[in-house]
A and B are shown apart, each in its own frame.
Chain A
């Protein structure tokens, strides 16, 4: 307990940065759940592909520590472009291959989960076997740096050196922390406005509220679902960039535990509710950091899951309720 009081702000800032990543990934779960009422189990792999896209683009552009400000901004911008494009593409592909065929056949919801689990294995293993795949197509020499040790951690050069900007309560808040937290919130505000104001956002809300009536009103359901997956994927791509800037290490199975956490965050805030995902992500990030300060960091994940169970027992619809369909977005 004393540890928590002494380092309160350190835990708070760390909690908020990781919480921002959870929140962005949670948006993908929440959007898909709101529209399709199914748990997109493979969303964690969408995120994982984003981390690799971010990593590869930095390697490709020759990212290194200690570059000038303009250079760093360019690298980070390219990371966003690459990760969002990759994650968005994987998410749309996932919908096409794993979900749409099932929807056409009116399969029971449980089988969608199985299909998602299968897709998740396939995506993770393709990444884990990438060195084999490149050697088959004969690109071994060209891509060696990108694919080597494909089952081990892949680390990214620190392109933004963490520098303290200001100090609260003895903790030096770095530029990376500020960028991650502010950036994540900004992206979520953008998404919130997109769902609330744009034509496509109205379509998403309409399908979430009542798919059949929406179809009668001329909403193209398949198209809306595709856009939903795309938007969720792009959010996961943004999360991947923040994750790589803050943590800097990824692996072919890095998505799994983060996906579970992000889903927990989505449920915590009320699945189907965009603002709930934001709130749930931050609360989860804070709670597991505070919890680990009190009972030891090895219990961090237990704290997160116990919190989830408690929330579901006392407020089964999550903190903010389920409301993608409602006007509040």
Chain B
């Protein structure tokens, strides 16, 4: 996690009192809090906290899945939240990243993981530009269906192309090179109180096949980097250009913002992060097939962004956690997961239409709109 002045709590617009208190903390305390929070996140899979820990499936693996969703949501947030482009085919870039890893490390070449990951990012980015350059000129709703088509084209091409492994997919994707520095013990709660369990340990950065905790650590590290990048880009000229484009494209164009180029940039960056997440997914799974990249996944990704609050990076992280963690946690209701998820989406749409943690600007804009409405139509409006 980066040590900037904004904390998740500080972004929360609904409780200004709490926010002020957090912002007014001395800088040293804030850094300390961040460090503690980061350590907590890194140790989370080993703490085995009751209730939070998933019973049926390996908690390290679940946390890794959550982390990939967070990464995907951060990438898609650039496209949907910042630039306001509705992308229903994000899984296409995810698949491209995963398959680049598969093809270059297992199927047709045996290159090192460290070399292939940047290649995967670049290839996903290029495919984003190839898709975006012609299609970003079409209107918003159409962009949704074009990207949806793109996601399906990617998946069907994977199914039908023997060179890419066909429907069987690619297996034996090698593990990333690791090093064994030290072992981290886990906590055992079976006696009712926390006891340090020295027998069940995770080795720091040994990428094995049984213990998924190191993969989670890797994903967490990458998330920190992407988050830092996200903060820097959003607060730069680029971020402001995106905001202007999203709010009113014609006005932005008149003000001299080359909107098309910025939309393309958002698309390319989003695609690159999607490719990176796909690469991570392929690394941990060790096996990929077209079935892993169903259209439904795109919709889940979009749901993560919108549920959390498109445009707010902390919001989309929360959204990604909600979308990926709860279905895993409540596996015992496996048959009803999708049903409950659907109901939750509908309720959320009605009661929190801006997402769980809406970006501050939206809240401000909404208040301004309400004032405007009252001024124009009097109290009797609506």
Interface residues of A (CB under 8 A from B): 33, 37, 39, 97-98, 101-102, 105, 107-108, 110-115, 117-122, 124-126, 129, 132, 256, 260, 263-264, 267, 271, 296, 298-299, 301-302, 305-306, 308-309, 312-313, 316
Contacts and interface: CB of A to CB of B under 8 A. Distances in A.
Given A107-B353, A122-B339, A115 B141 contact: no
Given A108-B354, A115-B345, A124-B338, 7 more contacts: A102-B350, A111-B354, A113-B306, A115-B350, A118-B348, A308-B145, A316-B138
Interface string B58-91: 0000000000000000000000100000100000
Interface in B313-369: 335-336, 338-339, 341-346, 348-350, 353-354
A125 B338 contact: yes
Contact of B335 (A117, A118, A129): A129
25 contacts: A102-B349, A102-B350, A107-B353, A108-B353, A111-B349, A113-B86, A115-B346, A115-B350, A117-B299, A118-B343, A118-B344, A118-B349, A119-B346, A121-B338, A122-B342, A126-B339, A129-B335, A264-B145, A271-B141, A306-B153, A309-B134, A309-B135, A309-B149, A312-B138, A312-B146
Interface in B130-157: 134-135, 137-139, 141-142, 144-146, 148-150, 152-153, 156-157
A118 B346 CA distance: 5
B116 interface: no
Interface hub of A37, A121, A124, A263 (most chain B Cβ within 10 A): A121
Contacts of A264: 145, 149
A308 B146 contact: yes
A44 to B, nearest CB: 12
A37 B142 CA distance: 12
B146 A101 contact: no
Contacts of B348: 114, 118
Contacts of A113: 86, 144, 306
Contact of A114 (B141, B144, B152, B307): B307
Given A118-B344, A264-B145, A316-B138, A129 B339 contact: yes
Contacts of A118: 341-346, 348-349
Given A107-B353, A306-B153, A125 B346 contact: no
A267 B145 contact: yes
Contact of B341 (A111, A121, A132, A256): A121
B150 A121 contact: no
Contacts of A110: 80, 86, 306, 310
B307 to A, nearest CB: 7
Nearest to B300: A117
B157 A302 contact: yes
B303 interface: yes
Nearest to A101: B350
Contacts of A101: 350
A302 B150 CA distance: 9
**B contact face: mostly helix, strand, loop, or mixed:** helix
B303 A114 contact: yes
A277 to B, nearest CB: 14
A308 B150 CA distance: 10
A309 B150 contact: yes
B160 interface: yes
Contacts of A125: 336, 338-339, 342
Contacts of A306: 149, 153
> Closest 7 interchain pairs by CB?
A118-B345, A121-B342, A305-B149, A115-B349, A107-B353, A122-B342, A125-B339
A316 B159 contact: no
B339 A111 contact: no
A122 B346 contact: yes
Contacts of B152: 260, 301-302, 305
A105 B142 contact: no
B144 A39 contact: yes
B142 A267 contact: yes
B372 to A, nearest CB: 12
A39 B149 CA distance: 15
A298 B150 CA distance: 16
B270 to A, nearest CB: 16
Nearest to A296: B160
Contacts of A114: 302-303, 306-307, 345, 348-349
Contacts of B86: 110, 113
Interface hub of B141, B159, B348 (most chain A Cβ within 10 A): B141
B149 A117 contact: no
B78 to A, nearest CB: 15
A98 B346 contact: yes
Interface hub of B134, B144, B349 (most chain A Cβ within 10 A): B349
A114 B341 CA distance: 11
Nearest to B353: A107
Contacts of B349: 98, 102, 107, 111-112, 114-115, 118
A146 B138 CA distance: 45
B342 A120 contact: yes
Interface in B181-236: none
Nearest to B167: A298
B243 to A, nearest CB: 15
B348 to A, nearest CB: 7
A39 B150 CA distance: 18
Contacts of A108: 353-354
B94 to A, nearest CB: 18
Contact of B353 (A98, A102, A129, A308): A102
Contacts of A296: 160
Contacts of B159: 298
A111 B308 CA distance: 12
B342 A298 contact: no
